[in-house]
Amino acid sequence: MRLLKVATCNLNQWAMDFDNNLRNIKESIAKAKEAGAVIRLGPELEITGYGCEDHFLEEDTVTHSWECLKDLLLGDLTDNVLCGIGMPIIHDSVRYNCQVFCMNRRILMIRPKMSLANDGNYRELRWFSAWTHKYMLVDFQLPSDVSEAISQSSAPFGYGYIQFLDVAVAAEICEELFTADPPRIGLALNGVEVFLNASGSHHQLRKLNVRIDAIKNATLSCGGVYMYSNHQGCDGARLYYDGCSCIVINGDVVAQGSQFSLKDVEVLIAQVDLDAVSSYRGSISSFREQASQKQKVLSVKAPYKICQSFKLQMVPTAPVEVKYHCPEEEIAFGPSCWLWDYLRRSGASGFLLPLSGGADSSAVAAIVGCMCQLVIKDIENGDEQVKTDAIRIGQYKNGEFPTDSKEFARRVFYTVYMGTENSSEATRSRAKKLADEIGSWHLDVPIDSVISALLSLFQTLTGKRPCYKVDGGSNTENLALQNIQARVRMVLAFMLASLMPWVHNKSGFYLVLGSSNVDEGLRGYLTKYDCSSADINPIGSVSKVDLRSFLRWGAAHLGYASLADIEAAPPTAELEPIRSNYNQLDEVDMGMTYEELSVYGRLRKIFRCGPVSMFQNLCHKWCGKLTPSEVAEKVKHFFKYYSINRHKMTVLTPSYHAESYSPEDNRFDLRQFLYNWRWPYQFRKIDELVQEMGEDKTKVPLKAERPGDSENTSDWGGGMGVVAAGSGNPNVGL
């Protein structure tokens, strides 16, 4: 029996913070060695942090990485343990994303990434090149200062594996796990038994099972031990890396790390039986045949034994059941951890949220409340880093520290209800009740006087005073009056975030939280420069359907019972006067339901459908429910308002990434923002298809079309989508 003790880890790194990153790496190696592990794996680009983006193009970034690696090699950290360290390296004037394998104060091998991630949120080809010489190892000249410090002039660089005296070990870096022709196949046929995958994989709702299945399947077909390491936390941008490092042997998960955690360092240990790998492989006849005809992969000899022989007290780690969070838990814990990292690293003293009493802003409030609960839980569990950060942010003195989530929330969280004559007592009371349950410092601020002052100024300038549609005004007047309310709230929110800490003798500033969801962004059902224009938005990539499920879950599991009443209330902007025969409703204003918006969003982004193919798909999906002409009208209606309002994505508040159909313009969904909203060619093709189906293509309007109807309204808290900005001319969408 060959027993091997291995360690992988979740690390909460911060892009370009080399001190923080090096400290976490050192701690993880020390913990691995303390547990008796002889292999320690860290995440991809762990020295720099994964999210450095164009900083990777700077020579300084590579230089500092070498300086940190030299620091690791000069001490005794790498004695008797193989360490996989992720960093960028320049070879022959080409920059590579590399895994550096170190042991006993030497560099054994440098493995450049061979398949780069370059879709969705990833842009690796912008900064790195893929290593394309699949069966080549070259001699890499180490930087002179590193060479002199460790008395080593060069190291093998390229595709290969490390052959110890008793086991063969190789790397597979992040994206390579998911490729059609992964490196591990050829490596396994050459006898490699242990695979080390350093990864930088972000959180997305319902995504973890795809990753876990890929890791399990990686060793089901050809056996082996698969170690997976990932970042965890917000390293400086929209993504939250959700950890879940794991160790798998022959398709069985024997160790799984947390998916959502406030810890900076989490190390997983497992003891694996390598004879189980050789036995598994030997039982598969096709594997034996293919291995006998393999193409030779080059190796690096390492004159060390790292396995242990059979001992009664050394028991192989047994398989564990994989833990998956439900989507409601993912919405609660993912953004909560992201917010905590953002708060402690931004220098802010807390958050301010315009809380309307609607579903979306209430969901954001619940997420902040959940963050406070996680902080208290980790302090109770003895996490000194979380305790130190909480004392600093909450500005505790004289040895005090937070022990109650509601008390902590009162120190770091302001909620503000900014009501007008159009606001109802129901939303005001729901906002107050939820704020009391969470513990936030709640303000009720009437803003009618500010709005009236602006309208009086306008009347002085023009001699005219606009009025609402229900009072006889035009659509232009109606939309303008709603926009004024929305934008006044943005100005007041930022003023309060800046000055309320001063009022309460606190240092620092508060971050303004937005609360517009992904479906409103997709439809453009929000105001440019209103409460959607915040500092950060934890739900900007979460669908309305998922948020309502989260509210129901939160009422039962977070202790915020008022969320159930909030979820049950119909979404409304409360930006127009309430009359006995009129009440503004979001879905009526939009001309589509939130459920339909989710369908449109997934077809547009995930399935890459244009108007015509979306129409064809929905004819099948909604067959028996809608006629082809009704489907055609819905598709045209969606694409019209999507294209008119696309410009709003250019100023969208940075949002936590959670949904694969997000329309976020700056990183994820790169498309133009000036469209011909009529889509003349595509819509004509849809009409032709409807005719071919033998249907009357007479238009059946979803609602009365109004001039300038690019501006639609929703919950002012940013929550249910707010009035759109712009000229009001549907011909330009600007």
Q: Which residues pair with 109 in a beta bridge?
A: 101
Give the separation between CA 187 and CA 194, rounded to whole angstroms: 10
Residue 449 a catalytic site member: no
DSSP state of 231: E
Q: Which helix (H) or strand (E) holds 196?
A: strand 194-198
Residues in the chain: 734
Residue type, 130: A
Residue 442: other Cβ atoms inside 10 A: 20
Contact 226, 211 (CB under 8 A): no
Side-by-side strand order, sheet with 510-512: 441-444, 413-417, 350-354, 510-512
Q: Give the SS3 label for residue 268.
A: strand
Contact 514, 365 (CB under 8 A): no
Paired tokens of 426 = 């129901």
Paired tokens of 486 = 């929305």
Give the separation between CA 242 and CA 260, rounded to whole angstroms: 6
Residue 153 a catalytic site member: no
Residue 520 a catalytic site member: no
* 3-state SS record for 49-68: CHHHHHHHHCHHHHHHHHHH
Residue type, 700: V
Nearest to 13 by CA among 35, 41, 42: 42
Q: Which residues pair with 107 in a beta bridge?
A: 102
Give the separation between CA 268 and CA 8, rounded to whole angstroms: 5
Q: Can you list the positions of beta strands (E) in 13-133?
A: 39-41, 82-91, 94-103, 106-112
Q: How far is CA 684 from CA 41, 291, 678, in A?
A: 56, 57, 10
Contact 445, 414 (CB under 8 A): no
214-227 burial by CB neighbour count: b if 16+ within 10 A, else e? ebbebbeebbbbbb
678-689 burial by CB neighbour count: b if 16+ within 10 A, else e? ebeebbeebbeb
DSSP state of 115: S
Give the separation between CA 544 and CA 534, rounded to whole angstroms: 19
- Measure the N-to-C terminal CA separation of the chain; round to a whole number of Å: 70
Q: How far is CA 564 from CA 329, 363, 560, 577, 682, in A?
A: 16, 11, 8, 26, 43
Of the residues 356, 562, 598, 714, only one is catalytic, namely 356
According to DSSP, the β-strands at 252-256 and 168-171 are unpaired
Contact 105, 79 (CB under 8 A): yes
Residue 380 a catalytic site member: no
Q: Which helix (H) or strand (E) holds 595?
A: helix 594-601
Paired tokens of 256 = 């799984």
Of the residues 5, 33, 113, 433, only one is catalytic, namely 113
Residue 24: other Cβ atoms inside 10 A: 22
Q: Which helix (H) or strand (E) holds 227?
A: strand 225-233
Residue 667: other Cβ atoms inside 10 A: 17
Of the residues 174, 244, 372, 609, only one is catalytic, namely 174
Q: Which residues pair with 266 in a beta bridge?
A: 10
Residue 234 φ/ψ region, left for φ over 0, alpha for ψ in the -120 to 50 degree band, beta for the rest = beta
Paired tokens of 195 = 């695979």
Paired tokens of 199 = 């990864």
| Residue 599 buriedness (CB in 10 A; 0-12 / 13-18 / 19+) | buried
**CA torsion, points 68, 69, 73, 75, in degrees to nearest 10?**
20
Q: Can you list the positions of beta strands (E) in 503-600?
A: 510-512
Show which residues are catalytic: 44, 113, 174, 356
